[in-house]
Structure formats: structure tokens, C-alpha cells
Amino acid sequence: TFARIDVSDLPEVERDRFNRKAFGRSSEKLGQMRLELEDLESDFAASVPDTELPIVADTDKVRVLPVRKLNPNLPRKRVVREPSCACCPGCGGDLRAMGEDSEEMLDLVAQAWQVMETVRPKYSCRTCDKIIQAPAPAKAIARGKLSYAALAHIMMAKWGYHLPFYRQAQMMAAKGVDIERSTLARSAGYAAALLDPIYNRIREIGRTRSKIHTDDTRLPILAPSTGKTHKGALWVYVADDRNSSSKEQPIAGIAPPWAAPARA
């Protein structure tokens, strides 16, 4: 038997305050607790048979469990299931509408990769023989094969959801996209160059703040061509002091952290 505290409905600041009060600075304990709760919930759901509740006339004696509504901002697809027969299957009489029952389920639309072909027709003037053609669209990477959306997806999967490039390459190969891990790694360098002005601007604004929070996390980094790792450090800087009732507004945006070899 276990008890679960659901704080997902709290605002983000209140949720962070609750986590710090319960677990202090140790975020590892919070992550471990979530994993344990997930395992307990999975084992509990597997051990309880999926049976329907009996119908009781007196609803006052029935405990009504709260039902969490799905996000109303999500796109919705309405599927209407009409009876197979347009008339009464018993007597053949005409049917008339008397209401409807509806329920919602969270569905997943499979992610699909596609090839976007840009065609620029050429035209020539019959009078001066001048060739007219629309200009080529801007590319995220010069002579590259990744669109802005594809590049953003790869970078978010790498640094937002911690999916290494080799695993992304495997997932893309399963959907018919043949791409090398080295190509994804080089794309990360081009993406960093594109985001460099934004990063510099965020750093410039952060340096003007009266207080900056930082975190130093040690982690192993793979040394190229050696098969070994060396000690590295991950520094994260945050200019957000709302928990201390500061009047300074947080910087609009999150500066990307970076990993570098640890200094002696």
C-alpha cells in the first residue's frame, strides 16, 4: 500500500518549492521516488482485474472517483459511431435522436518524416532572353538536408530529452530515414552557431542581474577516438529569484548549458 501526492496541478513555482521542502537540494531523491511510484502503480494495475463496477440505484452510497479532464487546448477529432441499421432492429420502426454518450481518450498521431522538395521553375523572356527564377529559400545548414523543423527536433531530443545521437539514428532508421550519427553530430555544431547570437544576448542580460544562481555538476565525457572518458563539468546559470520575493523578472528564455573538461 502506498500514498501518492499529486502536485501536477500546482503552478511551476509552487511545485518547485514543494520539491525543495520535501527533498532539499537532492534532485536525485525526487527522481528515484518518481521511478519507485511508477513501478508500484504498474504492479498494482497489473494485479487488479479489469472488472466493471456493479450498477447501484442509490448513488449516495457509491464513491465517485474524480476524473481528470484532458487538456482542452489539444486538437480534437470527433468520431461519431452510428448504429449499423437506420431503423429499429426489432420492429423496423423509424429512429429519433434522444441524446448521446461521449467519452474522450488520449490518442497519438504517429510522427512521420517526409521529404520536402522545393521546385523553382525557370522562365526566359522572349524579348531579351533574360532568365527569371524565384530565389532559393533560406536553409538552416548550407547545402544541408535538414529543414529548420527537423534540426529543432533533433536538438530538442538531444538536450531536452537526453537522447544521444546514436539512439536518434536508430529511431529514425526504424522509420525509413537513413542518417549517420556523425551527420547528426555535425548538425549540432551548425545549430549552436545559429543559436549563438541568442545565447550571447541572454548572457548579456544575465550579467546585469543582482543575483545569479549556478550549479556545478561533474559528469564523465567521452574522449574521442580513445574509448575512454575524462572528467567534465556542467555549469547551469539561472537568473530567476522569484522564490525570494525579488522584483526582478526572470529572463525570458533559458540559456543552454554547456559541458567542458573540468579544470584542475
Q: Kindly tell me the burial class for residue 233, based on how many C-beta atoms sit within 10 Å of its own C-beta (0-12, 13-18, 19 or more).
A: middle
Residue 238 lies in a domain: yes
| Beta bridge pairs of residue 87 | 94
Q: How far apart are CA 258 and CA 234, in angstroms?
A: 6
pLDDT band at 160 (very low <50, low <70, confident <90, very high): confident
**pLDDT score, position 1:** 42
Per-residue pLDDT, averaged over 3-29, amounts to 57
pLDDT band at 168 (very low <50, low <70, confident <90, very high): very high
The pTM for the full model equals 0.59
Residue 197 lies in a domain: yes
Q: Does residue 13 or residue 181 have the better pLDDT?
A: 181
What region, left, alpha or beta, does residue 99 occupy, with left being phi > 0 and alpha being psi -120 to 50 degrees? left
DSSP 205-222: HHTTSS--EEEEEEEEEE
Residue 226 lies in a domain: yes
**Residue 218, phi then psi, degrees to nearest 5:** -85, 140
**pLDDT score, position 261:** 38
The domain boundary, picked from 185, 207, 229, lies at: 207
Compute the C-alpha angle 109/114/120, nearest 5°.
140
For the cut 50, the answer to whether the pLDDT of residue 234 exceeds it is yes
pLDDT band at 245 (very low <50, low <70, confident <90, very high): confident
pLDDT > 90 in the chain, percent = 15
Least confident of 35-49, 79-93, 167-181: 35-49
Domain carrying residue 217: 209-263
Q: How far apart are CA 66 and CA 9, in angstroms?
A: 14
* Closest by CA position to 183, among listed 166, 159, 196: 166
pLDDT band at 255 (very low <50, low <70, confident <90, very high): very low
Check whether residue 220 and residue 245 sit in a common domain.
yes
Check whether residue 201 and residue 213 sit in a common domain.
no
Q: Does residue 257 or residue 83 have the better pLDDT?
A: 83
Check whether residue 199 and residue 147 sit in a common domain.
yes
* Closest by CA position to 155, among listed 175, 185, 135: 185
Could you tell me if 255 and 237 are in contact, meaning their C-beta atoms sit under 8 angstroms apart? yes
pLDDT band at 2 (very low <50, low <70, confident <90, very high): very low
pLDDT in tens, 57-74: 555 555 555 667 888 888
Q: How far apart are CA 14 and CA 243, in angstroms?
A: 9
Total domains, the chain: 2
Range ranked top by mean pLDDT from 25-29, 107-111, 120-124, 246-250: 120-124
For the cut 90, the answer to whether the pLDDT of residue 203 exceeds it is no
**pLDDT score, position 62:** 54
Could you tell me if 256 and 159 are in contact, meaning their C-beta atoms sit under 8 angstroms apart? yes
DSSP 198-263: HHHHHHHHHTTSS--EEEEEEEEEEPTTTS-EEEEEEEEEE---GGGT-SSPPPSS-PPPEEEEPP
Residue 28 lies in a domain: no
Residue 32 lies in a domain: no
Location of C-alpha cell 513501478: 39
pLDDT > 70 in the chain, percent = 69
**pLDDT score, position 20:** 65
